Structures are given as C-alpha cells and as structure tokens.
C-alpha cells in the first residue's frame, strides 16, 4: 500500500477503553507512528473542548497537529486555528427538532463547547453523562434556543433500546436531507448534508497536499463508516458493528479494551 502519512483515529470504542483511557500499548504505538513522520489525527464527533486534555496528554498540541471534530464539521489545528467549518441553518434546526419531537426524543444543540438541551415528551437528555466536559444549558422550550450563534450539530442521547425504537420511527427523509447516524449506543447525531468524517479528512488532505490512499483510518461505529470506506486503509476494531466491519479492509483481533489500535499500527505501519 502507499506509505501512510495520516493515522485517523476515532475515540470511543477505538482509541479509548470503555472507561475513556488510552492504554500504555496504544500510547507507545502512537509514538511509534509519529517517529515515522505520520500525523496522528483524532477524528471524532466531539468538539475540541471535549478532547483538549487528551491532546495535551498525547502531546498533539503543535502547529503541525490537527483534529477533525464534530464528525467532520470542523477541521482545525490543535492550536485552535480553523481550516474549515460547517454548521446547520435555522430552518434545518426547525426540521430536525420537529422530527425528534414527533418521536419523543430529546434534542441537544451544540454550538462549539456549549450544549442547549430540550426535553421532549418528558424524556430528558443523557448527553451530560456522555460528555461532562461541555457546558450544558437546559431550556424550557425550543423557542428559547438562541438564534444568533452557529450550531455544529444536533444530537439525541437517551437509553439505547428506547433510542433505537424511536430512530426506527423517524421519517426516512431525515437521512436524505442530513447526515444522521449513531456514534455510540446511546447517541444519535444529525449533521449538515455532506458533513462526515471522510469529508473532514479530505479537506485536511487537500490542505496538506495528500490524498486518501495515504490515510489509515480506524473506527467502530456508524459515524466511522464514511472514513473507513474513503481511506486507503480502513481498519475496524474487533468490537466494531457488523456494518463497519463489512466496509473495512482489515479488522483487529483485539478490541478497544485490549489495545486494538496498537495491534493495527504495528501490523500496517512499518
């Protein structure tokens, strides 16, 4: 395969263990990749504010370090300089909210590191449990949502079985008009059409003068499908969903709790 220049890593279920740690083996593997001139690019649905401590911990904080956040909606240097940014329009927010309201799913509207939460049908969001580093503002009504700021995405976070049942009742047009997918068992995300991890990585590659064949991407969930399909070398974790494994060029034998990232790095990066 073409020499790998970018190692694109999902976090939850991939680089992170179930308790949100990075194993010693994974740390050593990332250092090994960087010693060979490969850029380690965190590629996540989270905003930069939710991964800042991780970037510092992994020493990914220079002018030459990049992250893809909001599932491709924001491409930036880890110093904070924005290379590309896309958000939702007011009328799109209305469409999304009405769709979620119709099936009693809570709605969280993300604007950088601030989350505006609206309950529906008495069902409150669990997003604060999944992403406690963000600032949460609970609204009494969708009508109270501030309209003078950019919203990066909308998520609905609730108990897994309830979420799956409700998603099945959403109109098919929602997936036609937006990028809509699960990023974790309890998280359903809705992004602007054309905004996904592969699109973000493609914009980064254009900035760096690289192409997809020089990217190795690793992930485990539905929101990783685009980048694993697009990348020259897409690797699914052992714990990945069947859909993700089906599109990957390789699948690790170790899961996220047993340093599957390190296994892939040592196997495919020489």
Residue among 10, 65, 202, 220 flagged as catalytic: 10
Q: How far is CA 19 from CA 57, 138, 225, in A?
A: 16, 26, 23
Tokens 């609206």, residue? 118
Check if the beta carbon of residue 269 is closer than 8 Å to that of residue 216: yes
Cα(164)–Cα(185) distance, integer angstroms:
9
- Axis crossing angle, helix 260-268 with helix 24-35, rounded to the nearest 10: 30
- Token pair 């969903």 is at which residue? 241
CA–CA separation, 26 vs 234, rounded Å? 18
Sign of CA dihedral 181, 75, 48, 101: negative
Helices within the chain (DSSP H only): 24-35, 52-57, 90-102, 127-130, 160-167, 172-177, 197-208, 225-230, 242-247, 260-268
CA distances from 131 to 48, 108, 141, 187, 194 (A): 12, 12, 22, 11, 25
Is residue 10 flagged as an active site residue? yes
The catalytic site residues sit at 10
């Amino acid at each position: 395969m073409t020499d790998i220049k970018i190692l694109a890593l999902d976090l939850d279920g991939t680089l992170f263990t179930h308790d949100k740690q990075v194993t010693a083996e994974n740390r050593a593997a990332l250092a090994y990749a960087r010693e060979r001139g490969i850029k380690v690019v965190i590629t996540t649905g989270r905003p930069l504010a939710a991964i800042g401590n991780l970037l510092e911990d992994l020493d990914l904080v220079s002018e030459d370090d990049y992250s893809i956040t909001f599932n491709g909606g924001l491409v930036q240097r880890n110093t904070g300089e924005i290379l590309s940014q896309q958000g939702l329009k007011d009328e799109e927010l209305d469409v999304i909210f009405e769709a979620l309201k119709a099936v009693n799913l809570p709605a969280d509207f993300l604007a950088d590191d601030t989350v505006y939460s609206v309950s529906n049908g008495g069902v409150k969001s669990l997003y604060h449990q999944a992403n406690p580093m963000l600032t949460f503002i609970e609204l009494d009504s969708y009508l109270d949502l501030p309209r003078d700021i950019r919203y990066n995405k909308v998520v609905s976070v609730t108990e897994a079985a309830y979420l799956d049942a409700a998603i099945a009742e959403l109109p098919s047009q929602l997936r036609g008009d937006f990028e809509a997918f699960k990023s974790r068992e309890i998280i359903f995300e809705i992004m602007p059409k054309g905004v996904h991890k592969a699109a973000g990585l493609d914009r980064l590659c254009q900035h760096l003068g690289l192409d997809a064949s020089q990217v190795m991407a690793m992930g485990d969930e539905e929101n990783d499908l685009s980048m694993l399909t697009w990348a020259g070398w897409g690797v699914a974790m052992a714990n990945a969903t069947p859909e993700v494994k089906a599109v990957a060029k390789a699948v690790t034998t170790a899961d996220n709790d047993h340093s599957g990232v390190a296994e892939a790095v040592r196997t495919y990066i020489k």
